[in-house]
Every structure is written in structure tokens, then in C-alpha cells.
Amino acid sequence: MNYSELIQVYFERSVALQWYWTIYILVIGGLVAFSIFRLQRQFVTTVLVTILFAGFAFKNEGAIEATAEEREAIRAAFKDYPDTGASAADVKLLRAKLEPTLTAYDIAGARYFHIACDLLTIAYVWTKERRREALDAK
């Protein structure tokens, strides 16, 4: 694999990472909308939605972590790539301009942020269910 292919794969992994976060945010938005517009109390539905969201969040977080680890491995390969041979001048030029902009991805921070958002989303769903229950009691 040459240096330009490494660059391409790195940015493909970055785009994949962004898509995982985008899908996650869209699902949370849909879940919040679902909770807001539901008028009647439905305990079983709330339990089912909670379980399904928790499963989705678990798999999404795992995909984010795996993609971030791949991206970090590629970033490490940049640093180890030899700048010798026929394309040495190009590699040195690209390395000087590109590598300072490639920051490390905080995988642990992303995991904790994801878990915090998961818990807040589930708490919101259940808070809305409890409010519907209180309104039904009146």
C-alpha cells in the first residue's frame, strides 16, 4: 500500500465514523420525537423501545470504536511509512503538510460520551412515560 492509498483509507474511515455518529443522532431524535408525540401511556411499548434503543446504542458504540481503532492504526502507518524510493519527495511534502492535522481520536472519550447520551435518552423516554402516567391519574 502506498502513501496516497493510506491517505484515502484514512479519510474513508473518518467518513464512516461521521456516519455512525450521524445515524446515532438521528435515532435519538426519532426516539425523542416518538416520546413527545405519544399521548397515551404504554408501558410495554416503552420497555420495548428502551430495549431496542439499548441494543442499537451498544452496537453503534462498538462500530464507532472499531472504526476509530482502524483509523488510528492507519494514522500510525502514516508515521511509519518510509520516505525513501521514487516517491520520497512527494511523501515528504505530503507528510509535512498533512500529518500535523491528523489528530488522535479519543476513543475512551467517545465511549463515555456515547454512554452518557444513551443514559440521558433512556431517562428522557422514561420521564415522558411517567408524565403521561401522572396525567392519566388526574
Q: What angle (nearest 5°) sits at the alpha carbon of residue 124, between those of residues 136 and 106?
A: 175
Q: What is the pTM of this model?
A: 0.85
Q: What is the pLDDT of residue 27?
A: 98
Note down the domain range covering 86.
Answer: 3-137
Q: Which residues make Cβ contacts (< 8 Å) with residue 91, sequence separation at least 6?
A: 3, 81, 82, 83
**78-129 pLDDT, tens digit each:** 778 777 766 777 778 888 888 888 888 999 999 999 999 999 999 999 999 9
Instruction: Kindly state the cell numbers that stand for 73.
Output: 492504526
Domain count, the chain: 1
Torsion of CA 129, 132, 137, 138, to 10 degrees: 150
Query: What mean pLDDT, rounded, does the chain reach?
Result: 90
